[in-house]
Amino acid sequence: QQEEDKLIEYMDELEFLAHTAGATVVKRFTQKLTQPDSKTFIGSGKAQEVREYVKENGIGTVIFDDELSPSQLKNLEREIEVKILDRTNLILDIFAQRAQTSYARTQVELAQYQYLLPRLTRMWTHLERQKGGIGMRGPGETEIETDRRIIRDRISLLKEKLKTIDRQMSTQRNNRGKVVRTALVGYTNVGKSTLMNALSKSDVFAENKLFATLDTTVRKVVIGNLPFLLTDTVGFIRKLPTQLVESFKSTLDEVREADLLIHVVDISHESFEDHIASVNQILMEINAHQKPMIMVFNKIDDFSYEQKHEDDLTPESRKNISLGEWEKTWMSKSKYPTVFISALTKENFEEMKKMIYDEVLKIHISRFPYND
């Protein structure tokens, strides 16, 4: 049962991603195999089933929740005869659509080429098919090799470009001097941009879709006469394509160089615990897990807690839960200062600001010792 819930949730997330990319989802298929089929990932029986559905309903694209190997992609395209996207490709597409700065665009382009490189043969057979194979004298490996070389050159060029921007950004960060730097981290769609807006009274793009934030924004925030910098970082997501983890290095640099992390959690999401784990995992990978942190449990206005936590909260207390009651839940038992808020209705906002103020002040004081 638990496994099935997970499956539904993963498919929900994939549908959300597809929607963000601009697709309309009409049908879901699931397949249970002890291990993925090496040729077609889902097995040829399932592929036939999908093919029939696609044919009958005039479907344009089939999306897979995992990354397919180049040959699986090729085989599936041949069997189902429709455009196949895997999770990686879909996510790259969304990032490409939404990249706003030249830096983000360069990062996405690099990731896309890295994804494309091992899949180049597939592109080539496409072209061949289009041209009907006529007039394609002796293309074969040599031309694929030429294409590969062009792409490799492009990849090195993009990497160089990124290095240059990296250096510029690092200089910018150094110039920010001794001001305390805080970074919002958290799974995607948890409300980081909304919180950023509320704290800095600026207008960062917030919408109910994944990846609204691609580029980091740094804002100056003042709480009780204490100025500090607040960075909104890219939303973390489960199974982020490795090409992106690497290429979004600079976004993560903001996190790596922050003095204080504000970990935002969407408590209304049924798997918020998994989200916390994913975020912590990434923080560990970039060696930022030992920084001071504040846990901000957001969206308490939209909270519906399922049975699994009934030991913590009695059913009657589910609505209008007071701060005192929140503080009795397991979530408060973390080693970090913890607060429960709604970025939307501003509930408990003052408590959160006080908490941020206290933590920032601690860091601030440690930097300017009186006996110095």
Using the structure block, give the residue that is written with the tokens 């879709």: 209
Q: Which of 76, 92, 94, 206 binds ligand GDP (CB under 6 A)?
A: 206
Nearest residue (CB) to ligand GDP, 62 versus 355: 355
**Rounded distance between C-alpha atoms, residue 116 and residue 121, angstroms:** 10
208 binds ligand GDP, rule: CB under 6 A? yes
Q: Among 139-147, 181-189, 221-229, 362-370, which window interacts with ligand GDP (CB under 6 A)?
A: 181-189
Q: Which residues inside 332-361 make contact with ligand GDP, applying CB under 6 A?
A: 342-344
Is residue 188 at the binding interface for ligand GDP, with CB under 6 A as the rule? yes
Is residue 194 at the binding interface for ligand GDP, with CB under 6 A as the rule? yes
Q: How far is the CB of 348 from ligand GDP (least distance, A)?
A: 10
For the record, the structure tokens of 44 come out as 């040829």
If binding is defined by CB under 6 A, does position 190 make contact with ligand GDP?
A: yes
Q: How many residues does the chain have?
A: 372
Q: Which is nearer to ligand GDP, 186 or 241 (CB)?
A: 186
CB atoms within 10 A of CB 192: 30
CA distance to 91, 99, 105, 195, per residue, from 111 (Å)? 11, 13, 10, 29
79-87, 203-211, 311-319, 358-366 -> range binding ligand GDP (CB under 6 A): 203-211
Question: Residue 24 has what DSSP assignment?
Answer: -
- Helices then strands (H, E): number in the chain? 13, 8
Q: Which CB atom, from 171 or from 208, has the smaller least distance to ligand GDP?
A: 208
Question: Distance between CA atoms of 278 and 239, rounded to whole angstroms?
Answer: 9
- 187: which DSSP letter? B
In the complex, least distance from residue 269 CB atom to ligand GDP, rounded to whole angstroms: 10
Q: At 267, list the tokens.
A: 């408590």
Helix (H) or strand (E) holding 3, with range, is helix 2-21
* Amino acid identity at 275: H
Query: By C-beta, is 114 or 200 nearer to ligand GDP?
Result: 200
Distance from C-alpha of 118 to C-alpha of 127, rounded to nearest angstrom: 16
Residue type (1 letter), 21: A
Is residue 189 involved in binding ligand GDP (CB under 6 A)? yes
* Cβ contact 59:82 at 8 Å: yes
| CA nearest neighbour of 20 among 207, 233, 202 | 207
In this complex, which beta carbon is closest to ligand GDP, that of residue 9 or of residue 301? 301
Choices 16-24, 89-97, 200-208, 311-319; region in contact with ligand GDP by CB under 6 A: 200-208
Collapsed DSSP state (helix, strand, coil) of residue 264: strand
In the set 192, 229, 253, 260, which binds ligand GDP (CB under 6 A)? Answer: 192
* Residue placing its CB nearer to ligand GDP in the complex, 302 or 350: 302
Instruction: Tell me which residues in 295-314 interact with ligand GDP (CB under 6 A).
Output: 298-299, 301-302
In angstroms, the CA 69 to CA 39 distance is 9
DSSP secondary structure code for residue 330 in this structure: G
Kindly state the helix (H) or strand (E) to which residue 227 belongs, with its residue range.
Answer: strand 226-232
Closer residue to ligand GDP (CB): 77 or 347: 347
Binding part of the chain for ligand GDP, among 73-81, 90-98, 102-110, 204-212 by CB under 6 A, reads 204-212
Cross-strand pairs, 218: 231
Number of residues that bind ligand GDP (CB under 6 A): 21
Q: Which stretch binds ligand GDP (CB under 6 A): 8-16, 21-29, 63-71, 207-215?
A: 207-215
Question: Which of 271, 342 has the CB closer to ligand GDP?
Answer: 342
CA dihedral for 278, 10, 15, 240, sign (positive or negative): positive
Our CB check for ligand GDP shows the closer of 74 and 192 to be 192
Q: Binder to ligand GDP among 191, 258, 272, 288 (CB under 6 A)?
A: 191
- Closest approach of Cβ 18 to ligand GDP, in Å? 17
Q: Which residues bind to ligand GDP, rule: CB under 6 A?
A: 186, 188-194, 206-208, 212-213, 235, 298-299, 301-302, 342-344
